[in-house]
Amino acid sequence: MSVEVINEGELKALVSLLDDDDTEVSTHVEGKIMSLGTTIIPFLEGEWEKSFNPTVQRRLEDMIHTLQFDLLQERLKAWMDEREDNLLEGLWLIATYQYPDLELSKLVRDFEQLFVDVWTEHNPELSPFDQVKMLNSAIFGKLKFSANTKHFHSPANSMINTVLESRKGNPISLCVVYMLIAQKLDMPVKGVNLPNLFILTYKTEKLQFYINVFNKGLVFSKEDINNYIEHLHLVPQESYYQPCANLEIIRRIMRNLIVSFDKLGDYHRTDEIKILLKVLGDEEIY
């Protein structure tokens, strides 16, 4: 099927009809613009900036958001199918839900700087426990990352760019920052999907222990997890002790976002995140 080509003059003429008194006309025009797909987003953003008509601006905002949401779904599906090993890209995609102009390259540069700041204090000759102790000192001392206990359910805790800017986050966002830095230091650190709490594990063939990043990198054992599970009156599962996939990390962050938007009464965003979770193959939320 061929795609209709419309020049800029025709597009501007269509935009000017968005506030037509005839609802049928304005609806038809909106549908025609939307049919052009996500490549039209930059043009619509430019028209929004130039417009002084609140009705046109509102319609443009709605169309831009819808197209950006469509684009996000496409990107998430492609990430899951082709690039799940790139956790930072997955985190970036979540952040673009609220910050659509955020560039992945900026996050890459931000993490490169964090790595350099930590690398200067890293000593690979240290024991695993001392390496973690060093990393704790660098991340929570030198870089001043901390738990966002005051605004625990804020959506900002699930947006990697705001976590890097504020240096505050929830358990899983602090864990991904810690994990990405640790892995770049060649430390075998991965995420563990505990109920109600996301943690990390340092795991080799001969050694495994756990790290509670939300509690400033507190190190604990499998027995401590056993006690935690027992306290929650849950049946132990292997997933409570072993590393989880990047896809599950991204899904869990999105579930956190659903709770955040629910608490804010923003049910439209809640529904949109559920759609994104479905794109990622998570049917449990329905």
Per-residue pLDDT band for 49 (boundaries 50, 70, 90) equals confident
Per-residue pLDDT tens digits for 261-283 = 999 999 999 999 999 999 999 86
- What pLDDT is stored for residue 240 in this prediction? 95
Contact 217, 136 (CB under 8 A): yes
Per-residue pLDDT band for 201 (boundaries 50, 70, 90) equals very high
Cα 6 to the chain's mean position, in Å? Answer: 35
Domain boundary assignment for the chain: 8-82, 87-279
Helix (H, G, I), strand (E, B) or coil at 70: helix
Per-residue pLDDT band for 14 (boundaries 50, 70, 90) equals confident
